[in-house]
Amino acid sequence: MPPKTFNCIQCGNCCLNLSDAFQTSVSDEDVAMWEREGRFDILEWVHPIPLGEDHYIYDIWINPKTGDDVYRCPWLKKLPKQDKYICRIHDLKPEHCQKYPHSIKHAEETGCNGFE
């Protein structure tokens, strides 16, 4: 039996439920990319948490108006009259989103149907 290959079917499951800790923070590189690109609309959803002198962990998708975590990605958009979704920041999405899912098991655990 040939190995399963991943093919995104745009089901949105990866972004509709952000309870997976894999999706709750981003790297310094992601933040630097958004700063370089002038994407303050993205950065306002990022909450830096100091870990020490000049070291941070960056929680993401924190509602800038309420300070609360959101349960679905704010950049996910449902396509009209379809059961498909698109990422509105696809070209600038965080590294962990680009690498999602990182295994077949991870896909199964998070409801991704791209290996079927």
Per-residue pLDDT of the chain (116 residues; tens, 9 = 90+): 556 788 999 999 888 877 665 567 899 999 999 999 999 999 999 999 998 888 899 999 999 999 998 888 999 999 999 999 999 999 999 998 888 888 888 888 888 888 87
pLDDT of residue 20: 60
- Residue ranges in the chain assigned as alpha helix (H): 13-16, 28-36, 40-43, 95-98, 104-110
**Whether 14 contacts 101, CB under 8 Å:** yes
In a domain, 46, yes or no: yes
pLDDT of residue 2: 57
Separation between Cα atoms, residue 30 and residue 98, nearest integer Å: 11
In a domain, 26, yes or no: yes
In a domain, 116, yes or no: no
In sequence order, what are the beta bridge partners of 76?
87
Query: What domain range is 91 assigned to?
Result: 13-110
96, amino acid identity = H
HSE toward the beta carbon, residue 22, CA cutoff 13 A: 17
In a domain, 2, yes or no: no
Q: How many structural domains are present in the chain? A: 1
In a domain, 1, yes or no: no
In a domain, 71, yes or no: yes
In a domain, 43, yes or no: yes
What is the radius of gyration, based on Cα positions, of the chain?
15
